[in-house]
Structures are given as structure tokens and as C-alpha cells.
């Protein structure tokens, strides 16, 4: 999910901005670093079967340190979901329904996300599986259609590739490594896994590399080495350049939009579910009091929704700066989380010895 959602968020924009200044080498570095983070995180969290981040922190960190850390990570998960929603509100108004008010679109999205974020973790994983089964073929079809189209300019792509030896750029590395950040949601979803083993990591590395390469080079092939910087959502303008001759809907944009609105809503549901569970762990336990737990969940989700509505006032420039800032914070946050998990594992093992 995270690899695919990478196409419409701030990652392609950051890579395209650095297309002459190290984006290509940054992609290679990001693939290596992202795969390493994924491997280390999976190895460590597998040592805590059936436990989420709150349970792991409570066993290895003092409460005065664990609670603020959980609060900060919950805020980051909320921001990740909110930025996806805000981006898709802007996409909807630009490409699909410019006459609709932004608050009406966002309220519709929030209603779906807030209701579904309350679903238990295992059911959300089943829903994610079904969603990927529907959207992945559509996205792959769009990508293949874009690559084999005679309208793509391979000369523009080759021109950009001549800058491949430029030194990597930290902004581009942080943006491209977001492709591999889906594993971080195991901070809560690990509760439903017991003895999870991640195999064949090279497949995930190859997949991430291919998606990054396609999401970076294809828009350049359609809009040119200079013209591509004039587009905010490069892949939606690229999809709008494609036609499906033998189908009920001729414009590829609508197929692409359907796939990504589904994927974006599910992604936000996953993000806010994790953030909600992290915040619930800071509140008094209410497992035996369903009504009390319901009130706590509603309060948290209302705060999430209110924060997103307030952020709707941000213009495109401010939203982009916030997104780039979050990409950097996320990268360092993942590194810190892996270090903290290693510390907790070492401390728990020493207590048992």
C-alpha cells in the first residue's frame, strides 16, 4: 500500500525537483536504506509476538519516556493520514469536480475514514487485502499503458538520465525511502501476528525500485525535462494524457482516480487506526467497558477530524512544505524507533536472563 500511495504524495514532486541534482542516485540509496530499515524492524519486532508499540515500550522504557514518545508517534501517524486526505481533496477539486466546495469533499472523506478507523486491526488487514486486489491491477495497467504509449518521449528520459552520477540529495533520499515505510504500521498490527517472518526481501527492494523509477521517469517523458516542474500532481496529469480506446470510459484519469481514491482512503484509515490505538494506550484501560472505550475513540477521531479541517486552510505552498518536513521527520523517527525497539529487546532479554 505504501509503495503504491507513494505515486500521488510529495515523493514524485521532490524527486522531480532534484532531477538534475541527484534524484537518480538518491533513489538507489533510498532503496538500500529502506530495505535495511525494513529488515531490522521486522527482525526486532518479531521478538515481541502479539505485542504492539505501547506494550513493547512499557516493558523496556520508563513510563516518563514511553508516554511522550507514544504521543509524538501518534501525532506523526495522524499527520501522515491528514496530508493524504488533504492532497486528495485538492486532486478531486482540480481534476474531477472543481465546482464542489473543499469542505464538502473533505467532510465526505472524513465520515468514511473516522467510521472505518474504529474497526479492529485484523478486519482492517482483510479489507486492505481486498482493496489491493481491486486497485493493483488498475494501477499496473495505467503504468504499463503509460510506458508503452507512443506519446512518451524517451529522449527526455535519457536526457535526465545523463545526470545520474550526481551526488545523492538528502531531501530526495528522505522522500524516496517513504516507499518502504509501510512496515512501520506493524507498530500496532503486530498485535495480530505471532511469529511473523519476512522472506524474499529482494522482491520488495525490486518492487520499490521499479515503482520509484516509473513514478519519476514517466512524467518526465510526457511533460518534458522542464515542463514537468509546472505540474503539482504529475501522475494525474500524466494519466489525463492517456486514452483507453476500447473501454466504456475513454479517459484513463477516471480509472486512475478510482484506484487511488480507494487506496488513499484505506491508507488514511490504516494511519489513523494506528494513531488512535497509540493514544488509547495512554488513557485508562477500558477493555471491559465498551461504552467508555467508544467515547474515547470518538473523542480521538473527532480531534483528528478537527485538526484536518483546520489544515484545509493551508495553501498549496504551505501544504507542500509541511509534507516535505514530515518526510524528513518520518525518516529520523523510523531510525529512532528501530533503535528503541532494539533497546527494549536487549533490556527484556537481560531481565529474563
CA neighbours closer than 13 Å in the CB half-sphere of residue 225: 13
Burial class (CB in 10 A: 0-12, 13-18, 19+), 197: exposed
CA nearest to 264, candidates 106, 31, 74: 106
CA neighbours closer than 13 Å in the CB half-sphere of residue 169: 19
- Tens place of pLDDT for every residue, the chain, 353 residues? 888 887 777 788 888 888 898 889 999 999 999 999 999 998 898 888 888 899 999 888 888 898 999 999 999 999 999 998 998 888 888 888 888 888 999 999 999 999 999 999 999 999 999 999 999 998 888 888 889 888 899 999 999 999 888 888 888 898 888 888 888 999 899 888 877 777 778 888 898 899 999 989 999 999 988 988 888 888 888 888 888 876 667 788 888 888 889 999 999 999 999 999 999 988 877 667 778 888 899 999 999 999 999 999 888 888 888 888 888 898 899 999 999 999 998 888 877 76
Residue 70, strand partner residues: none
How do residues 263-282 score in pLDDT, each as one tens digit?
Answer: 999 999 999 999 999 999 88
Residue 31's pLDDT is: 92
Residue 62's pLDDT is: 87
Please enumerate, as own/partner, the contacts of 273-276 that have beta carbons within 8 Å and a separation of 24 or more: 273/117, 273/119, 273/121, 273/124, 273/188, 274/77, 274/185, 274/187, 274/188, 274/189, 275/74, 275/75, 275/77, 275/78, 275/81, 275/300, 275/304, 276/117, 276/118, 276/300, 276/301, 276/304
Helix (H, G, I), strand (E, B) or coil at 251: strand
The whole-model pTM stands at: 0.92
Whole-angstrom distance, CA of residue 343 vs CA of residue 349: 10
Residue 287's pLDDT is: 67
Whole-angstrom distance, CA of residue 139 vs CA of residue 271: 21
Whole-angstrom distance, CA of residue 327 vs CA of residue 332: 9
Residue 27's pLDDT is: 92
Instruction: Please name the helix (run of DSSP H) or strand (run of DSSP E) that holds residue 307, with its range, or none.
Output: helix 290-311
Whole-angstrom distance, CA of residue 323 vs CA of residue 337: 20
157-177 core/surface letters (b: 16 or more CB in 10 A; e: else): beebeebeebebbebbbbbbb
Helix (H, G, I), strand (E, B) or coil at 243: strand
Whole-angstrom distance, CA of residue 163 vs CA of residue 158: 9
Residue 353's pLDDT is: 60
Whole-angstrom distance, CA of residue 238 vs CA of residue 152: 10
Residue 110's pLDDT is: 94
Amino acid at each position: 500500500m505504501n509503495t503504491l500511495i507513494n505515486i500521488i504524495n510529495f515523493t514524485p514532486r521532490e524527486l522531480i525537483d532534484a532531477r538534475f541534482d541527484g534524484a537518480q542516485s538518491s533513489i538507489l540509496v533510498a532503496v538500500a536504506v529502506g530495505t535495511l530499515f525494513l529488515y531490522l524492524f521486522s527482525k526486532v519486532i518479531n521478538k515481541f509476538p502479539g505485542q504492539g508499540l505501547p506494550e513493547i515500550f512499557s516493558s523496556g522504557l520508563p513510563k516518563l519516556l514511553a508516554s511522550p514518545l507514544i504521543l509524538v508517534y501518534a501525532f506523526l501517524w495522524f499527520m501522515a493520514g491528514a496530508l493524504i486526505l488533504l492532497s486528495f481533496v485538492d486532486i478531486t477539486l482540480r481534476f474531477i469536480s472543481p465546482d464542489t466546495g473543499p469542505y464538502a469533499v473533505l467532510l465526505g472523506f472524513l465520515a468514511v475514514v473516522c467510521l472505518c478507523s474504529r474497526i479492529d486491526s485484523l478486519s482492517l488487514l482483510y479489507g486492505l487485502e481486498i482493496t489491493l486486489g481491486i486497485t493493483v491491477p488498475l494501477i499496473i495497467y495505467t503504468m504499463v499503458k503509460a510506458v508503452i504509449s507512443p506519446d512518451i518521449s524517451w529522449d527526455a528520459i535519457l536526457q535526465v538520465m545523463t545526470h545520474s552520477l550526481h551526488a545523492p540529495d538528502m531531501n530526495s533520499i528522505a522522500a524516496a525511502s517513504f516507499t518502504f515505510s509501510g512496515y512501520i504500521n506493524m507498530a500496532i498490527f503486530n498485535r495480530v501476528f505471532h511469529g511473523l517472518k519476512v522472506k524474499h526481501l529482494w522482491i520488495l527492494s525490486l518492487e520499490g525500485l521499479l515503482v520509484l523509477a516509473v513514478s519519476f521517469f514517466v512524467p518526465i517523458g510526457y511533460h518534458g525535462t522542464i515542463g514537468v516542474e509546472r505540474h503539482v500532481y504529475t501522475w494525474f496529469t500524466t494519466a489525463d494524457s492517456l486514452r483507453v480506446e476500447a473501454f466504456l470510459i475513454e479517459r484513463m484519469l477516471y480509472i486512475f482516480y478510482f484506484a487511488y481514491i480507494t487506496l488513499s482512503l484505506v491508507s488514511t484509515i490504516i494511519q489513523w487506526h494506528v494513531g488512535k490505538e497509540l493514544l488509547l494506550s495512554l488513557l485508562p484501560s477500558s477493555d471491559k467497558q465498551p461504552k467508555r472505550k467508544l467515547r474515547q475513540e470518538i473523542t480521538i477521531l473527532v480531534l483528528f477530524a478537527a485538526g484536518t479541517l483546520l489544515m484545509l486552510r493551508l495553501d498549496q505552498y504551505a501544504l507542500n512544505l509541511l509534507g516535505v518536513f514530515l518526510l524528513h521527520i518520518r525518516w529520523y523517527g523510523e531510525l529512532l524507533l528501530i533503535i528503541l525497539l532494539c533497546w527494549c529487546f536487549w533490556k527484556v532479554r537481560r531481565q529474563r536472563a
